[in-house]
């Protein structure tokens, strides 16, 4: 049987990957446009420019991750451990991580303020503990760096219990530090949670904005009005055959068709409504139940305007209300 040298094979694969990553940098840099310089200089500048972008920097780290430890004299096996940095290359393909990156960037100021507070409490707690417990427990609190270990374990509420204060004042301080720790982590969680919510809302707003701008009915509105309308409308997806509203139901919303077609089941025969048209307005205007059943005939993308937002929009943009009411009048006649 042929014995396979797995370690050697992995080594070859790792080096081939490193060379491919280096080639990737050169190819990607090709798309950084540099004009007005000699061809060769253009390439050098392009690579230089690309390496200054976050993606370029990560790609460079991936290329150097194994060669540098190898040149520094590490064994092949130990150097390969640095291949861990390759994971960074693929982080940007994860939508969740990209979102996290944006949230961290947006909330950086607030997070840094909390971390600064954390650092101040940490240093103050270590100093105070050194003064309070340094004499009675010199092994544990005999210096500020030693006391720092207790401070960090307590402030992060980890509480190994390997070092504990013995004096009454020391214990009192311990309690205060624990409460500070919980408050700071709560604060950070709050900042991140609201950052995520803001980011998701922003994305949804941009998507809705895009959809609203595609509906001819809103074409005449100015950018500020479109923004106001986009804040009120919600994206709704309907599958083929799904009943959007049933005759006799009370009306709680009207809809604008962005994609697909719906069928209005009139007594005189079905009528189709497609891109740019709206329905469900009659019940909102008159307060009466739905006049007919409306069904999605194919997968549809709709924008929903609920009754409260309809009233707000009508107040803000009387010209829109007039256009909707005129169409409702035509449909009734």
By the criterion CB under 6 A, which residues form the site for ligand CMP?
245, 251, 264, 266, 271, 279-283, 290-292, 294, 331
CA dihedral for 132, 134, 135, 140, sign (positive or negative): positive
Closest CB 271 distance from ligand CMP, rounded Å:
5
User: Which own/partner pairs from 321-328 qualify as long-range (CB within 8 Å, at least 24 positions apart)?
Assistant: 323/217, 324/254, 324/278, 324/281, 324/285, 325/281, 325/285, 327/278, 327/281, 328/281, 328/282, 328/285
Q: Which residue is nearest to ligand CMP (CB)?
A: 283
Whichever of 180 and 294 has its CB closer to ligand CMP, that residue is 294
Whichever of 240 and 266 has its CB closer to ligand CMP, that residue is 266
* Residue 245 to residue 254: CA distance in whole angstroms: 10
Closest CB 314 distance from ligand CMP, rounded Å:
15
Whichever of 108 and 243 has its CB closer to ligand CMP, that residue is 243
Whichever of 177 and 283 has its CB closer to ligand CMP, that residue is 283
- Token pair listed for 11: 């080594």
Say if residues 167 and 140 touch (Cβ distance below 8 Å).
Answer: no
Closest CB 266 distance from ligand CMP, rounded Å:
5
Which of 135, 131, 129 has its CA nearest to residue 164? 129
Continuous H helices in 52-107: 54-64, 67-71, 76-80, 86-91, 95-106
Closest CB 91 distance from ligand CMP, rounded Å:
47
Whichever of 52 and 247 has its CB closer to ligand CMP, that residue is 247
């Amino acid at each position: 049987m042929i014995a396979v040298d797995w370690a050697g094979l992995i080594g070859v694969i790792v080096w081939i990957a490193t060379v491919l990553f280096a080639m990737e940098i050169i190819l990607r840099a090709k798309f950084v446009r540099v004009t007005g310089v000699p061809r060769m200089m253009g390439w050098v500048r392009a690579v230089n420019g690309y390496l200054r972008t976050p993606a370029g920097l990560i790609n460079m780290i991936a290329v150097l991750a194994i060669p540098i430890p190898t040149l520094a004299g590490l064994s092949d096996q130990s150097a390969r451990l640095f291949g861990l940095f390759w994971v960074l290359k693929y982080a940007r393909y994860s939508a969740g991580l990209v979102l996290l990156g944006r949230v961290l960037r947006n909330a950086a100021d607030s997070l840094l303020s909390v971390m600064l507070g954390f650092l101040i409490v940490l240093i103050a707690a270590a100093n105070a503990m050194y003064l309070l417990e340094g004499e009675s427990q010199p092994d544990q609190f005999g210096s500020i760096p030693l006391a720092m270990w207790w401070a960090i374990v307590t402030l992060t509420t980890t509480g190994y219990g390997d070092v504990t204060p013995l004096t009454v004042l020391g214990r009192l301080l311990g309690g205060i530090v624990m409460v500070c720790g919980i408050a700071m982590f709560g604060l950070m969680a709050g900042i991140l949670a609201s950052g995520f919510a803001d980011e998701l809302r922003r994305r949804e707003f941009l998507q809705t904005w895009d959809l609203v701008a595609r509906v001819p009915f809103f074409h005449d509105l100015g950018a500020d009005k479109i923004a106001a309308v986009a804040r009120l409308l919600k994206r709704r997806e309907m599958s083929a055959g799904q009943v959007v509203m049933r005759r006799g139901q009370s009306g709680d919303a009207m809809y604008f068709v962005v994609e697909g077609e719906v069928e209005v089941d009139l007594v005189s025969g079905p009528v189709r409504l497609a891109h740019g048209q709206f329905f469900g307005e009659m019940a909102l205007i008159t307060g009466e139940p739905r006049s007919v059943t409306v069904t999605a005939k194919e997968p549809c993308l709709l924008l929903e305007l609920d009754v409260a937002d309809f009233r707000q929009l009508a107040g803000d943009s009387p010209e829109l209300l007039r256009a909707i009411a005129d169409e409702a009048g035509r449909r009734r006649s």
